[in-house]
Amino acid sequence: MEFLVRTENLLPPDTPDHTRDRLRRAERERAQELRDAGILKRLWRVPGRNATVGLYEAGDPAELHDALTSLPMWKWMDVTVEALATHPQEQK
């Protein structure tokens, strides 16, 4: 199944720089692991916001949930998920 996942990072502005930097590094590392596993397919930044739009592929919603909750910044994220279905024009 494919999912369109929108996230906004809500890390408190008073978070110490060293903590913010550590979390960002860990987030990049985990995202790369999800890419290597074939779960995270594409990732876009949203200009002007601390937000992303990602295309994920997982066997089911529970697998996607596990992937998202494994992200180091999970507890500071506002997440919206849309399950995607193939359009008939895309089927061959």
CA distances from 26 to 7, 15, 21, 48 (A): 16, 16, 9, 23
Quote the DSSP letter at residue 48: T
Q: How far apart are CA 67 and CA 71, in angstroms?
A: 7
Tens-digit pLDDT profile for residues 15-29: 999 999 999 999 999
pTM of the model: 0.90
Token pair recorded at residue 91: 């089927």
Q: What is the CATH number of domain 2-83?
A: 3.30.70.1060
For residue 75, what pLDDT is reported? Answer: 95
Is the CB of residue 51 less than 8 Å from the CB of residue 6? Answer: yes
Mean pLDDT of 15-44: 97
Report domain extents, the chain.
Answer: 2-83
